[in-house]
Amino acid sequence: DNNKFQAIISHCKEYGFIFPSSEIYDGLSAVYDYGQYGSELKKNIRDYWWKWMTQLHENIVGIDAAIFMHPTTWKASGHVDNFSDPMIDNKDSKKRYRVDHLIEAHADALPKEQGEALLAEMDQLLAKEDFAGLKTLIENNKIKCSVSGTCNWTDVRQFNLMFATEFGAVSGEGDDNMVYLRPETAQGIFVNFLNVQKTGRMKIPFGIAQVGKAFRNEIVARQFIFRMREFEQMEMQFFIRPGTQKEWYEYWKEERMKWHLSLGIPADRYRFHDHVKLAHYADAACDIEYDFPIGFKEVEGIHSRTDFDLRNHQEYSKKKMQYFDNDPGPDGKPYGNYIPYVIETSIGLDRTVMMVLSEAYEEQDLSTAEKADSRVVLKFPPKLSPVKLAILPLMKKDGLPEIARDLMNECKASFRCFYEEKDTIGKRYRRQDAIGTPFCVTIDHQTKEDGTVTIRHRDSMVQQRILLKDVKEMVEKAIQE
Ligand code: ATP
């Protein structure tokens, strides 16, 4: 439903969630800025992931590695040689396209069976890296450039997705001066594997988690924060004994799905997609896909990475990446030295924001026989809402603002509150619905008499009288769920 997708994008801009980057200069393609509510929402998701993965799993610790890494890192990881996609340029429009995106977009517009046949053919050619075949496929199907409408294509070529930049002096000292903006956070974990294991006295199995920016020079179709050039990943590498990867892979598939369901999103909005064609580092891999308004798409990847990364870092750095396992093996003797295997869980923070927004967004018709009415409401789980409580004195006089201010002061150190005294109460409620605030509290004249306030619930719009002194505890309880 592309209309819903577009409506969410407009809503995000209008209510201070997400803006195109450097918008006054017409924006920068596939780069976005989070506004006052978007950054709160994103932070709440990040914090929830972090707490769930580290605090609630005693054998997982977190780190925060630098974005810049030694250039050899990316040779060892395979990114210099393998992190590329086949692309094609249109000679007339000078536009560059990822071949798979170009063909997928064309297939989407075809009748179902024809589209599927085209994609199957594409998959085969991609797997064989048959670039001439891919070009022929594009030409035979008369696939046009979306900008110029012509099909005057160059040959298909590989382009690396990493951004390179110069480090230190910029005077043509050759490739040694090149550093990359990391295309994934995982390598910062691998190169620190022994630092953390030794200083933290970690015993296998254990995990290292990290949240941070990653950069990829994606060739994009317009997909909002779904595919960005600068984005944030939340990754965890779980180090295990070789031979146990099947069990741990299954364990993490299930465990990560539990996290997704704990966001209050129903199970039928998700599906697993097992990879048939595996990345260069994996012996099993799947995606968790969510049913976005633009269809089922990947939010998270779970990968059994074997000892690929640690083994390569050992080879390139000439530093041992081994772990000594003192536990007794089947023959009673310790397992001894080995390079651990790794299960990775890798989720995009921005895609998760997009998922939470898509799930929460609802346009409701509230018309009655007397008058037409509607609202847009973001039904976030309270723990993720940017603002938890709106405090609204009914009038700007009679001591009502003072009581409201006292409540604000009581609550604001514990959770995010929003104070507003302008406009009708109905308009104020609507604005809070639009940013997903779960509770509004109204202070009126009765408050002065009996110490009660009206609390209004976002989703049901039900209003109740409760004691002013119970407000804080009620909100705190709701955001812990
Ligand atoms: P895709 O196939 O969609 O390009 P990927 O398989 O390359 O994604 P991974 O390398 O497995 O993605 O990265 C892990 C996660 O990081 C993805 O599941 C996604 O949520 C997120 N991610 C990857 N690339 C981007 C991007 N360009 N913009 C936003 N999030 C991204």
Residue having the nearest C-alpha atom to atom 30 of ligand 1: 348
Q: pLDDT tens digits for 450-465?
A: 999 999 999 999 999 9
| Percent above pLDDT 70 for the chain | 98
Q: Is 256 annotated as a binding residue?
A: no
Q: What is the pLDDT of residue 279?
A: 77
Rounded to whole angstroms, the Cα distance separating 287 from 285 reads 7
Nearest one of 152, 160, 166 to 183, comparing CA atoms: 160
Domains 2-68+179-358 and 387-480 share a fold: no
Residue that has been written with the tokens 């003192």 in this structure: 326
Do 178 and 71 contact (CB within 8 A), yes or no?
yes
Identify the bridge partners of residue 467 per DSSP, sorted by sequence position.
Answer: 452
> Does 228 appear as a known binding residue?
yes
Q: So what's the pLDDT on residue 101?
A: 86
For ligand 1, say whether the CB of 299 is within 6 Å of any of its atoms. yes
Strands 334-338 and 374-378: unpaired
Question: Bigger pLDDT: 254 or 98?
Answer: 254
Peptide bond into 205 cis (omega under 30): yes
224, two tokens: 């909002």
Is 272 annotated in a binding site? The answer is no
- Check whether 247 is labelled as a binding-site residue: no
What pLDDT is recorded for position 166? 86
Beta strands at 417-419 and 389-393: parallel, antiparallel or unpaired = parallel
The reply to whether ligand 1 has any atom less than 6 angstroms from the CB of 5 is: no
Mutate to test the pocket of ligand 1, among 45, 218, 227, 294 (most ligand atoms within 8 A of CB): 227
- As for the ipTM of the complex, it is 0.98
Rounded Cα gap, residues 188 and 193, in angstroms: 9
Does residue 174 surpass a pLDDT of 60? no
Please give the CATH topology (third level) of the domain spanning 2-68+179-358.
Answer: BirA Bifunctional Protein; domain 2 (3.30.930)
Tell me: pLDDT of 277 over 90.
no
If DSSP codes are grouped into helix, strand and coil, which group holds residue 405? Answer: helix
Is residue 113 marked as binding?
no
Report which of 14, 8, 31 is spatially closest to residue 350, judged by C-alpha positions.
31
The pLDDT value recorded for residue 128 is: 87
The C-alpha angle 255, 415, 452, rounded to 5 degrees, equals: 120
> Distance (Å, rounded) from C-alpha 362 to C-alpha 4?
9
What's the rounded Cα separation, in Å, for the pair 416 and 338? 48
Res 477 pLDDT > 70? yes
List pLDDT tens digits, range 152-166: 999 999 999 999 998
230 lines ligand 1 (CB under 6 A): no
Q: What is the mean pLDDT of the chain?
A: 94
Helix (H) or strand (E) holding 363: strand 361-365
Q: pLDDT grade, residue 281 (50/70/90)?
A: confident
| Domain regions of the chain by residue span | 2-68+179-358, 85-160, 387-480
Nearest CA to ligand 1 atom 12: 301
What pLDDT shows up at residue 275?
A: 87
Sign of CA dihedral 159, 165, 166, 168: negative
Smallest CA-to-CA distance from 323 within 201, 188, 187, 186 is with 201
CB 441 within 8 A of CB 455: yes
CATH code for 85-160?
A: 3.30.40.230
Residue nearest to atom 31 of ligand 1 (CA): 348
DSSP 274-290: E-SS--TT-SEEEEEEE
Residue 468 is labelled as binding a ligand: no
Residue 449 in marked binding region: no
CA of 5 relative to ligand 1 center, distance in Å: 19
235 is in an annotated binding site: yes
CA of 226 to the centre of ligand 1 (A): 9
pLDDT per residue as tens digits for the range 79-95: 998 898 899 999 999 99
Distance of CA 425 from the midpoint of ligand 1 (Å): 43
Tens digit of each residue's pLDDT (9 = 90 or more) over 289-334: 999 999 999 999 999 999 999 999 999 999 999 999 999 998 999 9
pLDDT at 280: 74
**432 known ligand binder:** no
Phi-psi region of 98 (alpha: psi -120 to 50; beta: other; left: phi over 0): beta
For residue 347 and ligand 1, the question of a CB distance below 6 A is answered with yes
What is the number of the ligand 1 atom nearest to the C-alpha of 298? 18
Helix (H, G, I), strand (E, B) or coil at 124: helix
Confirm whether residue 465 is marked as ligand binding.
no
Whole-number pLDDT of residue 222: 67
| Helices of type H across 391-460 | 400-411, 425-435, 445-450
- Cα torsion at 70, 72, 75, 78 (round to 10°)? -50
Question: Does residue 298 have a known ligand-binding role?
Answer: yes
Cα–ligand 1 centroid distance for 348 (angstroms):
6
Q: What is the pLDDT of residues 42-78, one digit of tens each?
A: 999 999 999 999 999 999 999 999 999 999 999 999 9
pLDDT at 173: 52
For residue 220, the ligand 1 atom closest to its alpha carbon is 27
CA 185 to ligand 1 centroid distance, Å: 12
Q: If pLDDT is split at 50, 70 and 90, which confidence band does 176 have? A: low
DSSP H or E stretch at residue 198? helix 193-199
The answer to whether the CB of 228 is under 6 A from ligand 1 is yes
pLDDT one-digit tens code per residue, 16-25: 999 999 999 9
Check pocket membership of 303 for ligand 1, CB cut-off 6 A.
no
Give me ligand 1 centre to Cα 440, in Å: 37
Look at residue 171 and tell me whether its pLDDT is greater than 70.
no
Q: What pLDDT is recorded for position 108? A: 86
Strands (E), 7-136: 18-20, 32-34, 60-63, 84-89, 96-98
- Nearest-CA neighbor of 255 among 57, 416, 4? 57
Q: Which residues are within 8 A (CB) of 68 and not within 5 positions of it... i.e. 6 or more apart?
A: 167, 179, 181, 182
Mean pLDDT of 96-101: 90
- Mean pLDDT for 344-353 is 98
Check residue 172 and give its pLDDT: 54
Question: Distance from the CA of 390 to the center of ligand 1, in angstroms?
Answer: 36
- Contact yes or no for 85/218 (Cβ under 8 A): no
pLDDT at position 123: 86
Asked if residue 433 has pLDDT above 80, the reply is yes
Q: Cα of 246 to ligand 1 centre, how many Å?
A: 23
Distances (CA, A) of 327 to 70, 202, 333: 35, 13, 8
User: Is the shortest distance between the CB of 345 and ligand 1 below 6 Å?
Assistant: no
Q: Whose Cα sits closest to atom 25 in ligand 1? A: 227
Measured in angstroms, how far is the CA atom of residue 288 from the centroid of ligand 1?
11
What band does 146 get if pLDDT is binned at 50, 70 and 90?
A: confident
Q: Residue 111 — very low, low, confident or very high, per pLDDT cuts 50/70/90?
A: very high
Query: Rounded to an integer, what distance in angstroms lies between the CA atom of residue 38 and that of residue 21?
Result: 13
Tell me if 344 CB under 6 Å of ligand 1.
no
CATH level 3 topology of 387-480: Rossmann fold (3.40.50)
By most ligand atoms within 8 Å of CB, the mutation choice from 160, 233, 281, 343 for ligand 1 is 233
- Asked if the model's pLDDT at residue 147 lies above 90, the reply is no
pLDDT reading at 448 higher than 80: yes
